[in-house]
């Protein structure tokens, strides 16, 4: 064959290959998906973001394997822990797999698959404490656990125990180390991942109770339940479920007994070891810095989000605040009254509550906002109230004679406002507005409460992955500081630029000591 | 004598109260085109209020004002005004220039920009026309060199001359001055008064509320003496000084002569 012929053949082959690929991808697109939800923040070993910021975890592997058996493409939907079950009802996703315990209470709300994991509650206290034998021994002591868990129910039903519920398990265990708590009662997988590697903590007492995790779906979706149960049975029979749990170090006699399989793990616990290694406190400062460095993509994205939400929030605050100020100073009484009411209500209530109402409350009356829009609106409207008061002071500080001069020249009131009064008040309010931006930048940390991964969100994620609260805190604080500095400089520069009317030609900023008029 | 024509400015029975206190108690005055009229009188006599009513910076309670063919009837104490006074006032202001005691230049604009703002905002002139006209007026008041300076860097006399030029930029038919030299150091007064004399020579109609008795005497066509919300005496400038008809005028002027 000639060289030319060979090239042609290669081309034909390539075209055929591309055709197959596109057919496959079309088929792929037509394939059914399985939309599954979890809250991956501080959620090891269930489904969480690993150090390379990719989703991992034993539940992640189970749902991926299940979807494969069901002939579906898994599609992950992130949601806050508190919103997981409500999200099912709103049809945001098909199933939830997030260490949800099958309880009679919850079975009334949702439909559960057969259990994919069976385990127990593990009590953890400070190393060196006398181990307990029963929960009754904890009477009079403060014990931590997570919200909405079987462990919390167990603690609350034990007389005399003061149960304290946390949002993040890491914080609960940390408080045991710090001496703020006597101990923590939580599911065995959590204890194994968050407490066992810590030399300052110990497992104490026997397994308490029995908990079973199930995959939750909407009530009445029996077809899907059947599909999942069939796939799950296949994973059990093929030994794949045992492999997954063994790799994650979660193959215990309890689950072995429940599934009727041998107590020995089928494969080494490589994933568990990798997790422990990745979260072990670094021996040297260099190692610590290197580990933080590995988070740079997350930090960069978080910093950009913080900047974005702050700048857009400030733009909104300026626009709305300015409108409110003009309404308040020059508007007819209904507008004046409305503006005053808005300003007083917003200034009189905490920003955090406003954010929570916008994000979690508004959906109840049919207004669903994305986390970003909710965060932006919350910050922007809150600061608008403060900006309005700044601008009002600025407008009032422009001498009355200025408006009179504009009107005497034949300008209308709005023209006088726009060309004469507002430009002058702008200069007056620039310094307080800049300060407001810098404090907005810091207050933007609250948007992490509406599930946005801004710098504070990144702090939560990195700190709960590395257990290095001090280092992570310093790092994030330094980034806030670095982001804020250019704006401080920018503010000074703008102020100098705007001060030109105090200056004669050729004079440089900063040289003016007095404004004594030249005698002419 | 020239042909009999409409007076440029005609005020009838003007009244104004602030918080139940009547400041103007029925003022009537006629000013012919080209006149320079000085209004003098003790503090609180209502002369500034009268001037501010003439371009409706204060809305009169009653009376009638006619300037350059625009007439605004503010009704009588018993009858409300027949037209929307505020709307007509805007029209009238375009014919009336005003100069303030405190200059009230726009501090964020250069001197030239101060002159250009109103003509361009009100679409009376293009940017280039306004600039050319502004430069011509600055030349006239002797400030062409300072065109790019900001007001805060000028002396009071320079600022007031710029303020006069700014008012002239709207081509007014009457100029009103509210104590134009009261805020100035004594040595800066003359340069402002000289500009007003020059305008008078060009035939500009001007009404000046002033304490400068010497200027009033030397430059005005006639002097209006006000007291207690009334015009007490209108008189030729020499007559009022040499032979005041009213006892109150005599008492007021005694302090100056």
Residue range B125-154, pLDDT digits in tens? 899 999 999 999 999 999 999 999 999 999
Nearest residue in A to B151, CA atom: A501
User: Is A404 an interface residue toward B (CB < 8 Å)?
Assistant: yes
Decide which of B107 and A24 is more confident: B107
Query: Residues B207, B211, B214, B217: is their CA dihedral positive or negative?
Result: positive
Q: Please give the pLDDT value at position A505.
A: 45
**A45 prior amide bond cis, ω within 30:** yes
Distance from CA of B217 to the nearest CA of A (A): 26
CA distances for B74 relative to A93, B13, B64, B79, B88, angstroms: 72, 10, 6, 9, 11
Residue A368: pLDDT band (50, 70, 90) is confident
Residue A303: pLDDT band (50, 70, 90) is very high
User: Is A415 an interface residue toward B (CB < 8 Å)?
Assistant: yes
Kindly report the backbone phi and psi dihedral angles of residue A224, in degrees, each rounded to the nearest multiple of 5, phi listed first.
-65, -40
Q: Please give the pLDDT value at position A230.
A: 93
The answer, yes or no, to whether residue A239 has pLDDT greater than 70, is yes
Distance from CA of A407 to the nearest CA of B (A): 8
Residue A79: pLDDT band (50, 70, 90) is confident
Residues of A in contact with B92 (CB under 8 A): none
Residues of A in contact with B190 (CB under 8 A): none
> Lowest mean pLDDT: which of A166-175, A181-190, A324-333?
A166-175
User: Is B245 an interface residue toward A (CB < 8 Å)?
Assistant: no
The answer, yes or no, to whether residue A70 has pLDDT greater than 80, is yes
Q: Which of B56, B70, B107, B174 to mutate to test the interface with A (most CBs of A within 10 A)?
A: B107
Q: Please give the pLDDT value at position A318.
A: 94
β partners of residue A348: none
A404, A415, A518 ranked by CB distance to B57: nearest: A404
CA distances for A352 relative to A55, A370, A441, angstroms: 29, 17, 15
Share of chain B above pLDDT 90, in %: 50
Q: Exposed (0-12), middle (13-18) or buried (19+): which is A215, by Cβ within 10 Å?
A: buried
Q: Which of A506, A315, A490, A402 lies closest to A498 in space, CA to CA?
A: A490
Nearest residue in B to A425, CA atom: B108
Q: Please give the pLDDT value at position B3.
A: 45
Helix (H) or strand (E) segment spanning residue A119: strand A117-126
Q: Do A424 and B108 touch (CB under 8 A)?
A: yes
Q: Please give the pLDDT value at position A198.
A: 87
**C-alpha–C-alpha distance, residues B24 and B229, integer Å:** 4
Query: Number of CB pairs < 8 Å for A and B?
Result: 87
Residue A338: pLDDT band (50, 70, 90) is very high
Q: What does pLDDT average to over chain A?
A: 85
Nearest residue in A to B189, CA atom: A520
Residues of B in contact with A506 (CB under 8 A): none
Residues of B in contact with A414 (CB under 8 A): none
β partners of residue A334: none
User: Is B181 an interface residue toward A (CB < 8 Å)?
Assistant: no
**C-alpha–C-alpha distance, residues A96 and A82, integer Å:** 12
Q: Please give the pLDDT value at position A26.
A: 47
Chain-centre distance for alpha carbon A290: 24
Q: Please give the pLDDT value at position A17.
A: 52
Residue B97: pLDDT band (50, 70, 90) is very high
Q: What is the DSSP-derived secondary structure letter of residue A445? A: G
Single pTM value for the model: 0.67
CB proximity list for B197: less than 8 A, separation 6 or greater:
B219
Residue A9: pLDDT band (50, 70, 90) is low
Q: Please give the pLDDT value at position B71.
A: 86
Where would I find the beta strands (DSSP E) of A141-218? 142-146, 162-166, 183-187, 201-213, 216-217
User: Is B150 an interface residue toward A (CB < 8 Å)?
Assistant: yes
**C-alpha–C-alpha distance, residues B240 and B112, integer Å:** 40
Q: Please give the pLDDT value at position A37.
A: 93
Q: Do A504 and B102 touch (CB under 8 A)?
A: no
User: Is A419 an interface residue toward B (CB < 8 Å)?
Assistant: yes
Decide which of A492 and A118 is more confident: A118
Per-residue exposure over B77-101, b if at least 16 CB sit within 10 Å of its own CB, e if not? eeeebeeebeebbeebbbbbbbbbb
Share of chain A above pLDDT 90, in %: 45
User: Is B106 an interface residue toward A (CB < 8 Å)?
Assistant: yes
Residue A122: pLDDT band (50, 70, 90) is very high
Residue B2: pLDDT band (50, 70, 90) is very low
**C-alpha–C-alpha distance, residues A310 and B80, integer Å:** 55
Q: Do B170 and A410 touch (CB under 8 A)?
A: yes
Q: Say if residues A380 and A313 touch (Cβ distance below 8 Å).
A: yes
The answer, yes or no, to whether residue A425 has pLDDT greater than 70, is yes
Q: Please give the pLDDT value at position A361.
A: 83
Q: Please give the pLDDT value at position A213.
A: 94
Q: Please give the pLDDT value at position B83.
A: 65
Interface of A with B in 461-520 (CB under 8 A): 500-505, 515, 517-520
Q: Which of A429, A461, A456, A434 lies closest to A445 in space, CA to CA?
A: A456
Interface of B with A in 12-71 (CB under 8 A): 55, 57
The order of strands in the sheet holding B36-40 is B96-99, B174-178, B205-209, B36-40, B222-227, B230-236
Nearest residue in A to B143, CA atom: A520
In chain A, what is the straight-line distance between the N-terminal and C-terminal CA atoms, in Å? Answer: 99
CA dihedral of residues B227, B228, B229, B234 (deg, nearest 10): -20
Q: Please give the pLDDT value at position A167.
A: 79
Name the one residue in this structure whose structure tokens are 């199933």. Answer: A95
Residue B5: pLDDT band (50, 70, 90) is low
Mind listing the pLDDT tens digit for each residue in A467-503? Answer: 778 888 999 999 999 998 988 888 778 777 766 555 4
The answer, yes or no, to whether residue A154 has pLDDT greater than 70, is yes
Q: Say if residues A184 and A145 touch (Cβ distance below 8 Å).
A: yes
Q: What does pLDDT average to over chain B?
A: 87
Helical H runs in A348-468? 351-356, 371-397, 400-408, 413-416, 422-443, 455-466
Interface of B with A in 112-131 (CB under 8 A): 117-118, 121-122
Nearest residue in B to A413, CA atom: B90
Q: Is A262 helix (H, G, I), strand (E, B) or coil?
A: coil
Residue A31: pLDDT band (50, 70, 90) is low
Distance from CA of B229 to the nearest CA of A (A): 23
Q: Which of A228, A385, A222 lies closest to A318 in space, CA to CA?
A: A385
Residues of A in contact with B149 (CB under 8 A): 504-505
Q: Please give the pLDDT value at position B140.
A: 92
Kindly report the backbone phi and psi dihedral angles of residue A60, in degrees, each rounded to the nearest multiple of 5, phi listed first.
-60, -45
Q: Say if residues A423 and A342 touch (Cβ distance below 8 Å).
A: no
Q: Please give the pLDDT value at position A7.
A: 54
SS (H, E, C) chain B: CCCCCCCCEEEEEEEEEECCEEEEEEEEEEECCCCEEEEECCCCCCHHHHHHHHCCCCCCCEEEEEECCEEEECCCCCCCCCCCHHHHHHHHHCCEEEECCCCCCCCCCCHHHHHHHHHHHCCCCCHHHHHHHHHHHHHHCCCHHHCCCCHHHCCHHHHHHHHHHHHHCCCCCEEEEECCCCCCCHHHHHHHHHHHHHHHHCCCEEEEECCCHHHHHHHCCEEEEEECCEEEEEEEHHHHHHCCCCHHHHHHHHCCC
Mind listing the pLDDT tens digit for each residue in A431-462? Answer: 788 889 989 999 999 988 877 888 998 888 88
Q: Exposed (0-12), middle (13-18) or buried (19+): which is A513, by Cβ within 10 Å?
A: exposed
Q: Exposed (0-12), middle (13-18) or buried (19+): which is B141, by Cβ within 10 Å?
A: buried
Residues of B in contact with A518 (CB under 8 A): 153-155
Distance from CA of A392 to the nearest CA of B (A): 19
User: Is A261 an interface residue toward B (CB < 8 Å)?
Assistant: no
Neighbours of A214 (CB within 10 A): 24
Name the one residue in this structure whose structure tokens are 């974005």. Answer: A308
**C-alpha–C-alpha distance, residues B248 and B245, integer Å:** 9
B105, B118, B157 ranked by CB distance to A410: nearest: B118
Distance from CA of B80 to the nearest CA of A (A): 23
Nearest residue in B to A499, CA atom: B108
Average pLDDT on B58-75 reads 87
Residue A519: pLDDT band (50, 70, 90) is very low
User: Is B98 an interface residue toward A (CB < 8 Å)?
Assistant: yes
In chain B, what is the straight-line distance between the N-terminal and C-terminal CA atoms, in Å? Answer: 34
Q: Please give the pLDDT value at position B129.
A: 94
A407, A501, A519 ranked by CB distance to B93: nearest: A407
Residue A287: pLDDT band (50, 70, 90) is confident
Q: Are β-strands A55-56 and A162-166 bridged in parallel, bridged antiparallel, or unpaired?
A: unpaired
CB proximity list for A286: less than 8 A, separation 6 or greater:
none
Helical H runs in A331-368? 333-347, 351-356
A411, A505, A515 ranked by CB distance to B152: nearest: A515
Q: Please give the biggest Cα pair distance in chain B.
A: 55
Kindly report the backbone phi and psi dihedral angles of residue B193, in degrees, each rounded to the nearest multiple of 5, phi listed first.
-65, -35
């Amino acid at each position: 064959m000639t060289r030319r012929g060979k090239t042609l053949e290669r081309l034909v082959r390539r075209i055929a290959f591309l055709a197959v690929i596109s057919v496959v991808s079309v088929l792929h697109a037509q394939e059914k998906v399985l939309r599954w939800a979890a809250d991956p923040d501080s959620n090891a070993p269930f489904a969480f973001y690993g150090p390379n910021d990719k989703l991992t975890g034993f539940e992640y592997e189970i749902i991926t394997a299940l979807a494969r058996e069901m002939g579906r493409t898994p599609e992950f939907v992130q949601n806050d822990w508190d919103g997981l079950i409500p999200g099912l009802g709103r049809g945001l996703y098909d199933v939830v797999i997030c260490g949800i315990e099958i309880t009679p209470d919850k079975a009334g709300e949702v439909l559960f698959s057969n259990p994919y994991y069976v385990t127990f509650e593990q009590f953890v206290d400070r190393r060196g404490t006398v181990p307990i034998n029963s929960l009754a021994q904890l009477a009079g002591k403060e014990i931590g656990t997570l919200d909405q868990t079987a462990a919390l129910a167990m603690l609350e039903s034990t007389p005399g125990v003061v149960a304290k519920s946390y949002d993040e398990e890491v914080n609960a265990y940390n408080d045991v180390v710090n001496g703020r708590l006597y101990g923590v009662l939580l599911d065995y997988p959590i204890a194994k991942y968050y407490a066992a590697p810590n030399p300052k903590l110990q497992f104490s007492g026997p397994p308490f109770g029995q908990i079973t995790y199930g995959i939750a779906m909407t009530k009445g979706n029996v077809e899907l339940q059947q599909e999942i149960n069939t796939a799950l049975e296949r994973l059990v029979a093929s030994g794949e479920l045992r492999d997954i749990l063994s790799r994650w170090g979660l193959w215990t006699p309890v689950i072995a007994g429940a599934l009727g399989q041998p107590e020995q793990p089928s494969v080494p616990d490589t994933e568990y070891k990798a997790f422990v290694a990745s979260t072990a406190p670094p021996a040297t400062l260099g190692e610590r810095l290197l580990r933080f460095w590995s988070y740079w993509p997350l930090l960069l994205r978080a910093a950009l989000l913080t900047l974005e939400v702050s700048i857009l929030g400030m733009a909104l605050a300026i626009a709305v605040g300015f409108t409110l100020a003009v309404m308040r100073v020059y508007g007819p009484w209904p507008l004046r009254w409305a503006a005053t009411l808005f300003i007083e209500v917003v200034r009189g209530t905490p920003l955090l509550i406003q954010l929570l109402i916008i994000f979690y409350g508004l959906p109840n009356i049919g207004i669903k906002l994305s986390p970003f829009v909710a965060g932006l609106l919350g910050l922007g409207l809150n600061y608008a109230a403060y900006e309005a008061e700044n601008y009002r002071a600025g407008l009032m500080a422009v001498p009355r004679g200025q408006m009179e001069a504009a009107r005497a020249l034949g300008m209308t009131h709005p023209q006088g406002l726009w060309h004469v009064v507002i430009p002058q008040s702008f200069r007056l309010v620039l310094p307080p507005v800049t300060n407001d931006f810098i404090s907005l930048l810091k207050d933007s940390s609250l948007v992490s409460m509406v599930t946005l991964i801004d710098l504070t969100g990144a702090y939560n994620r990195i700190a709960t992955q590395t257990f290095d609260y001090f280092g992570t805190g310093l790092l994030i604080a330094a980034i806030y500081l670095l982001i804020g500095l250019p704006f401080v400089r920018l503010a000074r520069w703008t102020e100098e630029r705007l001060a030109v009317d105090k200056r004669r030609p050729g004079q440089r900023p900063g040289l003016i000591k007095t404004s004594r008029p030249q005698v002419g | 004598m020239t042909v009999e024509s409409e007076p440029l400015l005609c005020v009838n029975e003007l009244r104004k109260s602030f918080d139940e206190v009547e400041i103007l108690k029925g003022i009537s005055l006629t000013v012919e085109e080209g006149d320079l009229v000085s209004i003098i009188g003790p503090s609180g006599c209502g002369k500034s209020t009268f001037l501010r009513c003439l371009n409706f910076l204060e809305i009169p309670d009653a009376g009638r004002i006619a300037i350059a063919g625009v007439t605004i009837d503010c009704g009588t104490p018993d009858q409300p005004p027949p037209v929307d006074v505020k709307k007509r006032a805007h029209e009238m202001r375009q014919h009336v220039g005003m100069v303030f005691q405190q200059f009230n230049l726009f501090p964020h604009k250069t001197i030239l920009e101060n002159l250009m703002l109103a003509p361009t905002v009100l679409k009376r002139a293009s940017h280039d026309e306004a600039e050319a006209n502004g430069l011509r007026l600055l030349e006239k008041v002797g400030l062409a060199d300072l065109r790019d300076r900001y007001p805060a860097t000028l002396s009071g006399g320079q600022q007031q001359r710029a303020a006069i030029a700014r008012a002239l930029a709207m081509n007014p038919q009457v100029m009103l001055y509210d104590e134009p030299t009261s805020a100035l150091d004594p040595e800066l007064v003359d340069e402002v008064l000289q500009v007003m004399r020059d305008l008078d020579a060009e035939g500009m109609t001007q009404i000046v509320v002033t304490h400068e008795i010497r200027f009033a005497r030397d430059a005005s066509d006639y002097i209006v003496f006000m007291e207690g919300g009334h015009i007490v005496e209108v008189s030729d400038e020499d007559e009022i000084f040499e032979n005041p008809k009213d006892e109150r005028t005599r008492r007021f002027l005694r302090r100056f002569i």
